[in-house]
Structure 1
C-alpha cells in the first residue's frame, strides 16, 4: 500500500508539473507486474485505478522492477508517505 500511495502521489505531482514522460522503478515485483500489464491488485484496487488514470495522461511511461537493496532510500520515502497518509485520515 505504501508504494502505491507514493506512486500515485508522484504521478499526480508529475502531471501537475507538466511532465509527460516518466520512468518508474519499484522494488515491489507484484506492483511492477500489475502496472506493466495493466492489471489491478484487489488489495489496492482504488489506488491502482488512480495510478492507471494518471499513466493514461502521460505521453510515455515505463515501469520496471529493481531489487530493494538498490532502492533503500525510496523504500523509506514510501513508508513515510504511508505514515503521513494514515495521520491525515
Structure 2
C-alpha cells in the first residue's frame, strides 16, 4: 500500500500564520495577507487534483483575517458615529 505523499500548501500555512498575527502583532496588515493568501491557497489546492492539502489551514486563516477586518470596520464606524453625534449635538444644542 503505497499512498501518495501529499504536501501542505505553503500559501495555506502563510494564511494561518498571518491570520494569527492579525490578532496579535500585525492587526490590519496581517489580516489582509491572511485573506489574500487564504484565497490563493484554496485555489491552488483545488487545482492540484489531490496532491496538495491544507484547505483547513487556509479556511482558518480566512476566518481569522475576515474577523479582524470586520471588527476594524465596525469599530471605525462606531467611532465616526459617536463623534459625529457629538458634533451634531454640540451644533444643535450648543447655542
Q: TM-score, normalised by structure 1?
A: 0.39
Question: Where is the strand percentage greater, Structure 1 or Structure 2?
Answer: 1
- Higher radius of gyration, 1 or 2: 2
Q: TM-score, normalised by structure 2?
A: 0.37
Question: Going by fraction, where is helix more abundant, 1 or 2?
Answer: 2
Larger RCO (alpha carbons 8 Å, 6+ apart): 1
